[in-house]
Amino acid sequence: DTEVTQTPKHLVMGMTNKKSLKCEQHMGHRAMYWYKQKAKKPPELMFVYSYEKLSINESVPSRFSPECPNSSLLNLHLHALQPEDSALYLCASSQVGRTREFYEQYFGPGTRLTVT
């Protein structure tokens, strides 16, 4: 199974709402990633979790709060978002370790977020 799943596919929320995005993988990967992608632009890295610990935070505003409850799950909690936060949010996972490997990132289909 080389699949990363994301729910929901689409989300519309107001600026005062609280919502969460969910990502799941069952490939045994120990690194999971959140990206933000605007239309016709490359993905921008937001967070990286390695072994369920936050290892990279790309200076993301605190209205985005990541959580990694276990090695298969990654959540992104959203609160008080702005219209400019509307984007496609991609989750990815990869192996980590102490050997020379490609550590290919497998991407999910994304959640299309609209903030009104």
Partner 1 sequence: AQTVTQSQPEMSVQEAETVTLSCTYDTSESDYYLFWYKQPPSRQMILVIRQEAYKQQNATENRFSVNFQKAAKSFSLKISDSQLGDAAMYFCAYRRGGVRTSGSRLTFGEGTQLTVNP
* Contacting residues toward partner 1, per CB under 8 A: 31-33, 40-43, 45, 48-50, 55-56, 88, 90, 92, 94, 96-100, 102-110
CB of 77 to partner 1, least distance (A): 20
CB of 79 to partner 1, least distance (A): 25
**Residue nearer to partner 1 on the CB measure, 2 or 16:** 2
Q: Are 7 and 22 in contact (CB under 8 A)?
A: yes
Q: Are strands 106-107 and 64-70 parallel, antiparallel or unpaired?
A: unpaired
Block residue for tokens 């903030």: 115
CB of 99 to partner 1, least distance (A): 7
User: SS3 letters for 26-45?
Assistant: CCCCCEEEEEEECCCCCCEE
